[in-house]
Amino acid sequence: MEKRISATRAVRDFSEVLNTIKFKGIHYIIERGGKPVASMKPIDEKTDIKTLGELKALLKKLPRLDEELNAFLEDIEDIRKDQPPIPDISQV
């Protein structure tokens, strides 16, 4: 999908534009004075696809938390408390 935006908006909302490109695959044409001057689009990047069978080996490579485990759990609980509630989409 392609969208046209002004250079002013591209600068003002740069982070949002990048996220839209990355996560939604949007291709932006940037205009100045109503005329196209540049484009921004996702890079066709080949990723190293991992299989579910490789998960066990990957998990073994992760560092152990050991003595930091309780602090980590407390951090997660603190973060969880500050999150907005998940909307109930079954009522929609």
Residue 7 lies in a domain: yes
H or E stretch at 40: strand 35-40
Global pTM value: 0.47
Give per-residue burial for 54-86: e unless 16+ CB within 10 Å, then b: eeeeeeeeeeeeeeeeeeeeeeeeeeeeeeeee
- For residue 91, pLDDT over 80 is answered with no
pLDDT at 41: 93
Indicate if the pLDDT at residue 89 is higher than 90. Answer: no
pLDDT at 87: 81
Q: Tell whether 91 is covered by a domain.
A: no
Residue 47: inside a domain, yes or no?
A: no
Reduce the DSSP state of residue 2 to 3 states and report it. strand
The residues pairing with 35 across neighbouring beta strands, listed in sequence order, are 32
Does 88 map to a domain? no
Q: What is the pLDDT of residues 29-88, one digit of tens each?
A: 999 999 999 999 998 766 677 788 888 888 888 888 787 888 888 899 989 888 888 888
Residue range of the domain that includes 29: 2-40
Q: Is residue 92 part of a domain?
A: no
In a domain, 89, yes or no: no
Rounded to an integer, what distance in angstroms lies between the CA atom of residue 68 and that of residue 82? 22
Residue 21 — pLDDT band, cuts 50, 70, 90? very high
**Two structure tokens written together for 67:** 């003595």
pLDDT band at residue 1 using 50, 70 and 90 as cut-offs = confident
Domain count, the chain: 2
